[in-house]
A and B are shown apart, each in its own frame.
Chain A
Amino acid sequence: MLSYALRRGVLAIAVAITVSLATFFLLNFATDPAQALAGEDATPEVVQQIREEYGFDKPLAVQYLRWLGGLVHGDFGQSYHWRSPVGALIASHAPVTIRLALMAIAITILVAIPLGAIAALRPNSFVDRLSLSVAVGAQAIPGFWLGLVLIILFAVKFPIFPVSGDSTWKHFVLPAIVLGAGSVPSVMRLTRSGLLEVLGSDYIRTARAKGFRGVRLLTRHAMRNAMLPVVNVLAVQLGHKLGGSVIVESVFALNGLGRLAWQSILGGDVPTVQMLVFVFAITFVVLTFLADLLGAWLDPRIRLG
């Protein structure tokens, strides 16, 4: 178990450094951070001054190593755009994204697992077909479009929720629906197929023979085994939501990590983008690791190591 965790830890750092290296060079090739910071209409003198101030005139390798050196010493760097320490910046934006991601994953679980279970209990019935159609529909709708439609319906026509912002829990409902909807199809289909497989197994036949039926049979016996692949997918989906909510956060003007990443990319804020990519990569690895642990708990036959 310990060696497994260590291997995962080393892998996480290797992934994060590789990704940060790629990010650093791509960002510097794609844009001029000094120009991005100064703005389109800044005079060449202002742009040059910023270039010298921030050390953008130094070779890229020197700039990268300087950043990496800081990281080793626990210095996450200073944001050019926000002028505050990157660590503090990420810490201040994280709660919004965490709240949004947890609400979105809760919506996914609340919608997808019951739908998948109903579909599995009545395969090829009207309910099954309807659930499948809902799932395919949800997957096909782009998030930004769904977001705007929900805003028009539930914030403009029927002002139940606010249009944008993140000051109350109500502000999170529509974005969480949009973000959660994207994961419903995969989770629902996995639940359905997992349950179908489990429901056909010998121990379920035995349970039925003992008189277990319906919800009881599902929750006490079938669900636990059917949930193994679902848990893994949910972990990956949570990772996506923590790191990939750029569009939803922009549409709903939520001041989370996704929007921070977008603003930093636009503003040529290399230290912030690098650190965000680093954090996102680590988050993914940690979540996958936790999913493995949960899998082992759900199925005692699985042993890590």
Chain B
Amino acid sequence: MKTFRIPRTALLAVLALAAALARPVPAVAAKSDDTLVIALQRGITSVDYLYTTKREYIILSLLTDDGLTEVDPDTLEVRPLAAKSWKRVDDKTIDVTIRDDVKFHDGSPLTADDVVYTYEWVLDPKSRANRSKQFREWLAKVEKTGPYTVRFHMKYPYPLALHAMGFSMPLRKKGTYDAIAKSGALPLGQTLNGIGPYRVVSVEPGRKTVIERFDGYYKESPKGRPAIKRMVFREIPDWGTQEAELMSGGVQWAYDVPYDIASSLGASGPVKFVNGPSLRVGFLVLDAAGLSGKDNPLTKLAVRRALNYAIDRQTIVKNIVRGDARVIDSACHPAQFGCAQDVMKYPYDPKKARELLKEAGYPNGFSFDLWAYREKDSAEAIAADLAKVGIRAKLRYVQLATLNEARKKHEIQSYFGSWESGSVPDTAAIADVHWSATTDRNMSGDPKVTEYMIGAQRISDPAQRKALYEKGLQRIAEQAYWVPLYTFSLNYLVSNDLEFHPPKDGLPRLYLAKWK
């Protein structure tokens, strides 16, 4: 049989291709060209935070937008940002003075007209802005009182008003939404005329968003002048690929990385593993009211307390959650205003749990459904701890939507919940959603808890609010309506060239990052 010969031209073509490929791929960006590349699992589809809700968008919005106020990353206190100052006229009225040196990215100055326009636009249901309903809940109107002064009229004394004037309400130039006001469409969010320290250069949804330092940013801003010139947000959905990009220098910052990946890569590669707190807390909600059936054992106080004693939260934190996570005893994050820590505590005590079960008439334990939609490892560890005292928790791990639906229909005896509070360091941000009389998340059936926890967000005096939260949180703990579990931690992978400090509230402020 004849032997095969490779044609000479084909051989030359292959050699030419090999030579072309042999040239190493240059690093995409880094310290040398003052460009920070950020990897996101979920990409940016719109740069207008008035029309988005997810976390990645807050991180971007903190760079491209400013609100009237912001939370000081060190003290977690609210401070003026685009506002120069504010004055509480009465319980329901706040006067805000705006800085006169703030410019939009198109060079035009920020005035009271722009502030009033932004708030009026969001308050108008036709705007379809994501937080329109939320703002309408407490804010009656905003009026211009001078070229750089505005007055906020609230429907009731809302203690989070100054927080809400922060990143939740990025300021827009008057007339920004005129076109969509006519068409009724949603803005595409591919361009932005904001007032933040960075301006949007380009948006390629699904690929990348490029922002560049805004030279006209006001010098007196508490955010300061950013050190890094350009940032690129890249969408890289796969963790393995993010790892490879970090190792090859194509990416310098990754966020919310799974602990195992972050710790192993941080220990070996050209990136460091940075761990920081998050305002997210995890907890079990127990159907104390018997919404899922009056024969539910969880309606008995002794049983609920037994559950609290039976779970070894410290071990779960140490071995499963890890990082900066901490065990909690109150139904809130310890860093939040009003999150009283002096409440009834339930240290791990399986013996006491068994005694309480016996006292409640369940000497041989009982079975119940524990629903969960995330943190499967923790939920399994909890089920294993409960099994040790005779409580057989049947784990129902489902999609969030399924859990929500089942809870709405009162089919849930208990669920593993978690809440991040929108990074607002105030107990109101978790209490409102979980303890109002109308929410299906409130399975306590206890009007006293609602009175304290929701009452505290209808007054503005900090001391009075604290006192109410103390009462509410103590009652939740004493009645064991929840099993408070732990705070979460956030894992970052950061290039060795980059100086980045994890924020206390879990909201990365990348304008503070700088090259070493």
Q: Which of A187-234 contact B (CB under 8 A)?
A: 213-215
**Cβ–Cβ contact B133 & A170, under 8 A:** no
Report Cα–Cα, A48/B54, bound state, in Å: 16
A263 at the interface (CB under 8 A from B): yes
Checking A35, A41, A46, A50 against B420 with a beta-carbon cut-off of 8 angstroms, the contacting residue is: A41
With a cutoff of 8 Å between Cβ atoms, the chain B residues found around residue A166 in the complex are: 207
Residue B191 lies at the interface, judged by CB distance under 8 Å to chain A: no
Task: Give the CA-CA distance A83 to B128 in the complex, in Å.
Answer: 13
Tell whether A255 pairs with B207 under 8 Å between CB atoms, given A39-B53, A46-B53. yes
CA–CA, A135 and B277, complex, Å: 49
* Residue in A46, A118, A250 with the greatest tally of chain B CB atoms within 10 Å: A46
Tell me the bound Cα distance from A253 to B244 in angstroms: 12
Q: A31-B399, A46-B53, A155-B244 are in contact. Are A161 and B21 (CB under 8 A)?
A: yes
**A121 adjacent to B128 (CB under 8 Å):** no
Say yes or no: A156 contacts B1, CB within 8 Å: no
B67-81 toward A: CB 8 Å interface, digit per residue (1/0)? 000000000000000
With CB as the reference atom, state the residue of chain A lying closest to B247: A156
A83 touches B188 (CB 8 A): yes
- Whether B1 contacts A253 by the Cβ 8 Å rule is no
Given A39-B54, A162-B25, A45 and B248 contact (CB-CB distance below 8 Å): no
Known: A45-B137, A251-B238. A214 touches B132 (CB 8 A): no
Q: Which residues of A contact B207 (CB under 8 A)?
A: 165-166, 255
Complex Cα gap A213–B1 (Å): 8
A214 touches B25 (CB 8 A): no
B250 interfacial by beta-carbon distance below 8 Å:
yes
Within the complex, which residue of A32, A173, A250 is in contact with B237, where a contact is CB–CB below 8 Å? A250
Q: Contact at B401–A164, with CB atoms within 8 Å?
A: no
Minimum distance in angstroms from A176 CB to a CB of chain B:
13
Judging by beta carbons under 8 Å apart, are B244 and A160 in contact?
no
Q: Say yes or no: is B234 at the interface (Cβ < 8 Å to chain A).
A: yes
- With A45-B134, A213-B2 already in contact, the answer to whether A160 and B25 are too (CB < 8 A) is yes
Q: Which residues of chain A are within 8 angstroms of B235 by Cβ–Cβ distance?
A: 253, 255
Knowing A41-B420, A160-B21, A161-B21 touch, does A255 contact B206 (C-beta < 8 A)?
yes
B133 touches A164 (CB 8 A): no
Chain B residues, Cβ within 8 Å of A262: 237
Q: Assess whether A252 is interfacial by the CB under 8 Å rule.
A: yes
Among residues of A, the one whose C-beta sits closest to the C-beta of B206 is A255
A166 CA to B204 CA in the complex, in Å? 12
Check: B314 CB closer than 8 A to any chain A CB. Answer: no
A155-B189 Cα distance, complex, nearest whole Å: 34
Tell yes or no: A152 within 8 A of B by CB: yes
A259 within 8 A of B: yes
A4-19 contacts to B (CB < 8 Å): none
Residue of B nearest to A253 (CB): B236
Chain A CB within 8 A of B385 CB:
no
CB-CB < 8 A to A49: which residues of B? 130, 132-133
B1-46 residues at the A interface, CB under 8 angstroms = 1-2, 4, 21-25, 28, 42-43, 45-46
CB distance from A210 to the nearest CB of B (A): 15
Partner of B24, one of A46, A118, A159: A159
Are A46 and B133 within 8 A (Cβ)? yes
Is the Cβ of B25 less than 8 Å from the Cβ of A259?
no
Answer whether residue B205 sits at the interface, using C-beta atoms and an 8 A cutoff.
yes
Q: Is the CB of B439 within 8 A of A155?
A: no
Contacts of A53 in B (CB 8 A): 128
CB-based contact B134/A46 at 8 Å: yes
In the complex, A48→B131 CA distance in Å?
11
Q: Which of A83-129 contact B (CB under 8 A)?
A: 83-84, 93, 118, 121-122
Residue B245 interfacial (CB < 8 Å):
yes
B176: Cβ under 8 A from any A Cβ: no
**Beta-carbon contact of B433 and A44 below 8 Å:** yes
Q: Residues of B contacting A159 with CB < 8 Å?
A: 24-25, 248
Interface residues of A in 165-185 (CB under 8 A from B): 165-166, 170, 173
Shortest distance from the beta carbon of B28 to any chain A beta carbon, whole Å: 8
Cα–Cα, bound, A84→B186 (Å):
9
Q: Which residues of A contact B422 (CB under 8 A)?
A: 41, 43
| A81–B186 alpha-carbon span in the complex (Å) | 11
Report the 9 A-B pairs with minimum CB-CB distance, sorted nearest first.
Answer: A32-B401, A214-B2, A255-B206, A39-B54, A49-B133, A159-B24, A45-B133, A253-B236, A41-B420
Chain B contact residues, CB within 8 Å of chain A: 1-2, 4, 21-25, 28, 42-43, 45-46, 51, 53-55, 128, 130-134, 137, 186-189, 204-207, 234-238, 240-241, 244-245, 247-248, 250, 374, 399-401, 404-405, 419-422, 432-433, 439
Given A41-B55, A159-B248, 14 more pairs with CB closer than 8 A: A31-B401, A41-B420, A41-B422, A42-B53, A49-B130, A49-B132, A160-B21, A160-B22, A165-B207, A165-B234, A213-B1, A214-B1, A253-B236, A263-B43
Complex A-B: 6 CB contacts under 8 Å = A31-B399, A39-B53, A40-B400, A148-B241, A162-B250, A253-B241
